[in-house]
Amino acid sequence: MEKLQVQRRKRLVLVPYPLQGHINPMLDLASILHSKGFSITIAHTKFNSPNPANHPDFIFLPIQDGIPNLDVSPPNLVDLASAINTNCKEPFRECISQLMHQEQRHQVVCIIYDFLMHFAETVANQLNIPSIILRTSNATTLLAFRTIPQLREEGYHSLQDSTSYDLVPGLHPLRFKDLPVSSMGSLDNFLQLLAVVCNTRTSSAIIWNTMDCLENSSLARLQEQYHVPFFPIGPMHKMAPAESSKLFKDENNCFEWLEKQAPNSVLYVSFGSIAKLDEKELTEMAWGLTNSYQPFLWVIRPDLVSGSEAFLPEGFQELTRERACLVRWAPQKDILAHPAVGAFWSHCGWNSTLESICESVPMICKPYFADQKVNARYLTHEWGVGIELGDVMQRTEIAKAIRSILVEKEGMQMRQKAIALKEQIEQCMKDGGSSYNSLDKLVQFISSL
């Protein structure tokens, strides 16, 4: 108790990147560190700001970001990151300087920032505050990021949107088509961003939302290249005591529907918070789901279809009414934990990937951009818990994949592997497990700063 009180005088400032898939793990980390006795300030952009009411124990510090309400989609992501880093630096410096003056009983001991919020490192360094990076995607993606400039120098020019099935030298099992570079706008701009985010600069450690049992070899290779300690403490949503923040409103009526379904019978379908489809893809999805004859819970975000409202094909709702539940946003972690859910058709964002394997739910993988392709490749070829869909959505292939994963032998075998993977992850989190130990070391490390 006394230790917690001493610790409580130590304030950590956490700086999330303002997209759902980045906010969730940062707020989970905040809850984990709060439970270890630290005081928490979340310094966040006004754009996509988290809801302070969900976290009464934290102080929220809005930073002016100068970001208009832009359409967040893959080709804009590099520009968004660069605008945030340019616009937020000065306002952040002012906020932290003020905080340091006000906080007499509490000392700002460390700034922990999302790897995309690198302006926070510059400010921390100017103010003589130690900083730590949080990597919200997996370790293998960083290995791939570090390889991309090298490949380009070696003469591989069409890295973006490559359709090549050839394996990337040194990155087995990744193929050129899996490199986390497609759909990210201009390659030159992307390479500039990579040069910054692959570098630790003056930061003194890296926290990872991953675990040894999943990515032991990638973590070991990276540790040889980085001369700062690594703290892989994932899966953070399971290590954290509290709920993380949601930018959208959950629709809990889907639980009533789930309660009526048989165990392992439902396909949960969601493409995360920013992936977008075109109308043709939506139509193929709708008919694939219809022709599978399996129950499904489908998240259709209002902005899921680029440039227009999502129009479902005529006849779809009548044909599937008996076995479909459609929502605009879902309490995903609880859904994946529901016994009725038998498989997850996903875009393979890293959070979705972790949330699914932590509940031993096998996946149908339809990645779109950035690290999603790396995650999909690992799900299908390294961990054996996913079915890969082709690049073009086709109703026949979709229906076949859904039946395979829900009712055929292939799906049963994947579920067995997913159960084994879940058990390994649980071992990592237990007293003496790798994530548990890393968290202990992280707390000691921060306390010694």
Please, what is the minimum distance in Å from the beta carbon of residue 350 to ligand UDP?
5
Task: Give the nearer residue to ligand UDP in terms of CB position, either 132 or 330.
Answer: 330
Backbone angles phi, psi at 279, to 5 degrees: -60, -35
Pairing relation of β-strands 341-346 and 266-270?
A: parallel
Please, what is the minimum distance in Å from the beta carbon of residue 122 to ligand UDP?
25
Please, what is the minimum distance in Å from the beta carbon of residue 349 to ligand UDP?
2
The answer to whether residues 54 and 42 touch, using CB atoms and an 8 Å cutoff, is: no
Please, what is the minimum distance in Å from the beta carbon of residue 274 to ligand UDP?
5
Please, what is the minimum distance in Å from the beta carbon of residue 137 to ligand UDP?
8
Please, what is the minimum distance in Å from the beta carbon of residue 352 to ligand UDP?
3
Task: Give the nearer residue to ligand UDP in terms of CB position, either 19 or 393.
Answer: 19
Terminal-to-terminal C-alpha distance of the chain: 21
CA-to-CA distance for 43 and 96, rounded, in angstroms? Answer: 9
Residue nearest to ligand UDP (CB): 21
Please, what is the minimum distance in Å from the beta carbon of residue 283 to ligand UDP?
21
Please, what is the minimum distance in Å from the beta carbon of residue 75 to ligand UDP?
15
Backbone angles phi, psi at 64, to 5 degrees: -65, 130
Task: Give the nearer residue to ligand UDP in terms of CB position, either 191 or 247.
Answer: 247
CA-to-CA distance for 22 and 40, rounded, in angstroms? Answer: 17
Task: Give the nearer residue to ligand UDP in terms of CB position, either 20 or 438.
Answer: 20
Please, what is the minimum distance in Å from the beta carbon of residue 235 to ligand UDP?
11
Task: Give the nearer residue to ligand UDP in terms of CB position, either 342 or 367.
Answer: 367
Task: Give the nearer residue to ligand UDP in terms of CB position, either 28 or 443.
Answer: 28
Task: Give the nearer residue to ligand UDP in terms of CB position, either 20 or 380.
Answer: 20
3-state helix/strand/coil string of the chain: CHHHHHHHCEEEEEECCCCHHHHHHHHHHHHHHHHCCCEEEEEEECCCCCCHHHCCCCEEEEECCCCCCCCCCHHHHHHHHHHHHHHHHHHHHHHHHHHHHHCCCCEEEEEEEECCCCHHHHHHHHCCCCEEEEECCCHHHHHHHHHHHHHHHCCCCCCCCCCCCCECCCCCCCEHHHCCCCCCCCHHHHHHHHHHHCCCCCCCCEEECCCHHHHHHHHHHHHHHCCCCEEECCCHHHHCCCCCCCCCCCCCCHHHHHHCCCCCCEEEEECCCCCCECHHHHHHHHHHHHHHCCCEEEECCCCCECCCCCCCCCCHHHHHHHHEEEECCCCHHHHHCCCCEEEEEECCCHHHHHHHHCCCCCEEECCCCCCHHHHHHHHHHHCCCEEECCCCCCHHHHHHHHHHHHHCHHHHHHHHHHHHHHHHHHHHHCCCCHHHHHHHHHHHHHHCC
Which residue(s) pair with 45 in the sheet?
A: 63
Task: Give the nearer residue to ligand UDP in terms of CB position, either 48 or 351.
Answer: 351
Residues that bind ligand UDP (CB under 6 A): 19-21, 24, 270, 272-275, 299, 329-330, 332-333, 349-352, 355
Please, what is the minimum distance in Å from the beta carbon of residue 233 to ligand UDP?
17
Token pair recorded at residue 291: 């022709």
Task: Give the nearer residue to ligand UDP in terms of CB position, either 130 or 272.
Answer: 272
Please, what is the minimum distance in Å from the beta carbon of residue 273 to ligand UDP?
3
Task: Give the nearer residue to ligand UDP in terms of CB position, either 328 or 400.
Answer: 328
